C-alpha cells in the first residue's frame, strides 16, 4: 500500500480510505478529489470498498422521497456514495433550477447556514418559528441554495443547542465553515459538548500537540477539537497537520454527516451508578437509525478503556431494526457487576444491501457514588459550634449542608476532595427543637443526598440556686441563675421584692439579698425569671428560712 501523501486526511488503518489529489489553481471538477479532505473516522470498520460501491445502487430518483431530483454533477465523484445515502434519507439539499435540473455542487465551499440546514434534517429536528428571530441577520425570509427557506431549520438548531452562536447577535450565515467549526457543530449535535468541557485546558493543548499545527486551533474550539481527537472522530491529515481553520467543501460536509449522524446512540444519563442506593442504577440507551435503508440487522456493544467488549446489545443476533431503547445495569455478559471506570458504547445497523452504518463511539462513565455525613454534636444551644462532616467516594465537586430555615453552608474539601468539613455556630437563625439538615454532594453527572437532624436548645432556659440554703433571718444570701445564651435579663422575686440580677459571665447571672429579720420561718418561694425576645421563663427555688440565733439567746444577769 502506498503511503498517504502529505496534506491528506485519511481513515485509521483498516477503514475505507479516500485519497485526494493536490488541487490546481483551477476550480476542481466533479471528478477531482479535493486535497486535505476532512475525514471523521470512527474507531471500527465503517465501509469496505465493496460497501461503498453498493451504496451507489440505491433507489432511483422516482422512488426517493426527497424534494430534490437526483443531482446531475456527482458522476464519478468520490463523495457520491455518501451524498446518495443522504439524498435517500431525504436530508440532502442541492441547487434546483427552474429547468428541473438539480446539482449538489460538491466542491463549493460550505457556509454556516447550509451546514445547520443539513444537521437539522439529519437529526430530524422539527422546524421552529419563534416570534422573534434569534439572529439579526437571519429573518423568516432567509434562504439558501438558490431559494430554499432555511430560517425555521436554523431556529430549530438554536433551540436544540447545536448552534455555537448565542442568540441576540449575528450568525453570519454565509460565512465559510472551517474544520474546527464543523467539529464544534458535530460535538454539540452528538451531546458531547458537556464531556468536552470536562477536559482541562492544559490537557486539551497536550492532545492537540501531536499535530504540527494543533496550536492554531481557536481557544473557543479547543476542548471540542481535543475530545474529537481523543475519541478518534478526527484523525487529521497524512502530513501530521490538523488544519483547523481550513474552509470545508460541501462534499466534506456531507461526508461528516454521513459518517457521524445517520446512526446515533445516546446514553441517559452518561454517568450512572449501580451501587444499590436506588439512584441512577441503570443507563438507558436511545437508538436512532436510517429510516429509508430497510435495516435488516443490528448490534452494538460496550467496550472498556482497553477496547475489550464487555457487553453487546443484541447477543442473540435478532433480525430486524434495533429497538428504540435499551437498558443496561453495568454488568458483563455473565451478569457480573463491572468495575468503576470509563466505558464506550456504539451501535451499528446493516441495510438490505449489506452496508453497515455505525454511530460515533461515545464515552460512558460507571461510577459508584457514596456519601456519608454526620453532625457533632447533634444537640446544641445558642453559641455552641456544630461540626458538619462528610465523606464522598469518588471525589466530589462540592458538598453543601442546607438547614430547614434555608441557610446553606458549603463544606471545605480536604486534599483529594473526599473528606469535607464545615462549622456552624448555633443561634436564633434556626428554630428551636429538632430540625432537618440536608447534606448534598455533587459529582460529575450525579448527586447524592443524606438527611440529618440537629436539635437547637431553647435559648430561654434558666436554672437557679440560693446560697446558703437554708438561711437565717437577717442573713445575706447569694442569688445565682444559669440561662441560655440568648437571655437578655434575669430577675429574682422573694418576700415581695424584685431584684434585677447582673450578668456575671456567659449565661451566668448573680445577685445578693438580705433576708428580712421579720421573714416568716419556714419554706418560701424564690421566683427567678429570664427574659428574651419578649418572652419570659420562670424557675422557682425553695428557700428555707430559719429562726435567727439571736432569738435563742438568754441573758442572765448576776447580782
| Joined grid coordinates for residue 301 | 456493544
What's the CA gap between 134 and 131, in Å, rounded? Answer: 9
Same domain for 427 and 319: no
The CATH number given to whatever domain includes residue 294 is 2.60.40.4070
Same domain for 496 and 479: yes
Instruction: Summarize the confidence of residues 307-335 as an average pLDDT.
Output: 92
12 in any annotated domain = yes
Q: Work out the pLDDT band at 554, boundaries 50, 70, 90.
A: low
Tens-place pLDDT, residues 493-538: 999 999 999 999 988 999 999 999 999 999 999 999 999 878 899 9
* Final residue before a domain boundary, out of 109, 127, 142: 109
Percent of the chain's residues with pLDDT above 90: 55
Same domain for 504 and 399: no
Same domain for 482 and 420: no
**Lowest-pLDDT choice from 349-358, 378-387, 433-442:** 349-358
Instruction: Summarize the confidence of residues 94-110 as an average pLDDT.
Output: 93
Same domain for 246 and 118: yes
By residue range, what is the domain housing residue 282? 264-366
CB-based contacts of 538: which residues, under 8 Å, 6+ apart? 462, 527, 528, 529, 530
Same domain for 351 and 299: yes
Same domain for 176 and 191: yes
Half-sphere exposure of 49 (CA within 13 A, CB side): 2
* Final residue before a domain boundary, out of 71, 90, 109: 109
88 in any annotated domain = yes
Same domain for 482 and 356: no
Q: Work out the pLDDT band at 63, boundaries 50, 70, 90.
A: very low
Same domain for 490 and 452: no
522 in any annotated domain = yes
The CATH number given to whatever domain includes residue 499 is 2.60.40.10
Same domain for 247 and 115: yes
The most distant pair of C-alpha atoms in the chain lies apart, rounded to whole Å, by: 158
559 in any annotated domain = no
Helix (H) or strand (E) holding 122: helix 112-122
555 in any annotated domain = no
Q: How many CB atoms lie within 10 A of CB 192?
A: 20
Q: Work out the pLDDT band at 229, boundaries 50, 70, 90.
A: confident
What pLDDT shows up at residue 428?
86
Same domain for 225 and 115: yes
* Final residue before a domain boundary, out of 349, 366, 383: 366
| Joined grid coordinates for residue 430 | 434556626
430 in any annotated domain = yes
Number of domains in the chain: 5
Same domain for 232 and 116: yes
Q: Is the pLDDT of residue 397 over 70?
A: yes
556 in any annotated domain = no
558 in any annotated domain = no
Percent of the chain's residues with pLDDT above 70: 86
Among candidate residues 184, 157, 161, 176, the one with its CA nearest the CA of residue 40: 184
Instruction: Summarize the confidence of residues 122-139 as an average pLDDT.
Output: 92
Amino acid at each position: 500500500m502506498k503511503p498517504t501523501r502529505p496534506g491528506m486526511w485519511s481513515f485509521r488503518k483498516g477503514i475505507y480510505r479516500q485519497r485526494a489529489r493536490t488541487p490546481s489553481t483551477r476550480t476542481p471538477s466533479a471528478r477531482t478529489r479535493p486535497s486535505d479532505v476532512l475525514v471523521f473516522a470512527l474507531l471500527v470498520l465503517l465501509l469496505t470498498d465493496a460497501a461503498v460501491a453498493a451504496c451507489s445502487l440505491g433507489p432511483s430518483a422516482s422512488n426517493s422521497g426527497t424534494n430534490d431530483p437526483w443531482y446531475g454533477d456527482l458522476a464519478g465523484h468520490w463523495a457520491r456514495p455518501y451524498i446518495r445515502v443522504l439524498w435517500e434519507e431525504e436530508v440532502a439539499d442541492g441547487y434546483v433550477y427552474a429547468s428541473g435540473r438539480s446539482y449538489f455542487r460538491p466542491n463549493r465551499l460550505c457556509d454556516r447556514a447550509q451546514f445547520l440546514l443539513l444537521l437539522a434534517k439529519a437529526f430530524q429536528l422539527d422546524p421552529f418559528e419563534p416570534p422573534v428571530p434569534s439572529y439579526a441577520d437571519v429573518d423568516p425570509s432567509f434562504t439558501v441554495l438558490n431559494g430554499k427557506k432555511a430560517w425555521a431549520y436554523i431556529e430549530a438548531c438554536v433551540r436544540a443547542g447545536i448552534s455555537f452562536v448565542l442568540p441576540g447577535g449575528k450568525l453570519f450565515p454565509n460565512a465559510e465553515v472551517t474544520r474546527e467549526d464543523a467539529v464544534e457543530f458535530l460535538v454539540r449535535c452528538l451531546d458531547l459538548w458537556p464531556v468536552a468541557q470536562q477536559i482541562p485546558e492544559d490537557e486539551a493543548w497536550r492532545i492537540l500537540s501531536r499535530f504540527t499545527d494543533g496550536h492554531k486551533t481557536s481557544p473557543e474550539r479547543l476542548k471540542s477539537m481535543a475530545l474529537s481527537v481523543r475519541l478518534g472522530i478526527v484523525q487529521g491529515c497524512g502530513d501530521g497537520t490538523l488544519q483547523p481553520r481550513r474552509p470545508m467543501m460541501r462534499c466534506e460536509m456531507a461526508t461528516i454527516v454521513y459518517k457521524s449522524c445517520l446512526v446515533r446512540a445516546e446514553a441517559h444519563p452518561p454517568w450512572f451508578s449501580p451501587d444499590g442506593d436506588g439512584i441512577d442504577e441503570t443507563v438507558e440507551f436511545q437508538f436512532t437509525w436510517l429510516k429509508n435503508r430497510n435495516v435488516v440487522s443490528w448490534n452494538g456493544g460496550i467496550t472498556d478503556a482497553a477496547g475489550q467488549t464487555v457487553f453487546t446489545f443484541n447477543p442473540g443476533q435478532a433480525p430486524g431494526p434495533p429497538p428504540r431503547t435499551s437498558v443496561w445495569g453495568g454488568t458483563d455478559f455473565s451478569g457480573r457487576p463491572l468495575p468503576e471506570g470509563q466505558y464506550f458504547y456504539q451501535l451499528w445497523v446493516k441495510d438490505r444491501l449489506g452496508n453497515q452504518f455505525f454511530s460515533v463511539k461515545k464515552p460512558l462513565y460507571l461510577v459508584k457514588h457514596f456519601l456519608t455525613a454526620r453532625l457533632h454534636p447533634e444537640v446544641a444551644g445558642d453559641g455552641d459550634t456544630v461540626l458538619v462532616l462528610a465523606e464522598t467516594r469518588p471525589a466530589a465537586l462540592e458538598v453543601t449542608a442546607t438547614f430547614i430555615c434555608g441557610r446553606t453552608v458549603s463544606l471545605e474539601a480536604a486534599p483529594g476532595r473526599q473528606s469535607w468539613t464545615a462549622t456552624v455556630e448555633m443561634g436564633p437563625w434556626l428554630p428551636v427543637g429538632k430540625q432537618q439538615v440536608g447534606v448534598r454532594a455533587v459529582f460529575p453527572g450525579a448527586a447524592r443526598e443524606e438527611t440529618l437532624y440537629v436539635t437547637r436548645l431553647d435559648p430561654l432556659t434558666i436554672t437557679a440556686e440560693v446560697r446558703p440554703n437554708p438561711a437565717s433571718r437577717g442573713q445575706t444570701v447569694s442569688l445565682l441563675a444559669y440561662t441560655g445564651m440568648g437571655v437578655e435579663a434575669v430577675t429574682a422575686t422573694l418576700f415581695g421584692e424584685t431584684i434585677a440580677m447582673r450578668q456575671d459571665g456567659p449565661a451566668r447571672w448573680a445577685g445578693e439579698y438580705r433576708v428580712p429579720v421579720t421573714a416568716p420561718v419556714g419554706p418560701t418561694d424564690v421566683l427567678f425569671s429570664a427574659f428574651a425576645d419578649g418572652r419570659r421563663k420562670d424557675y422557682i427555688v425553695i428557700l428555707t428560712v430559719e429562726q435567727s440565733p439571736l432569738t435563742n439567746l438568754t441573758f442572765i444577769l448576776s447580782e
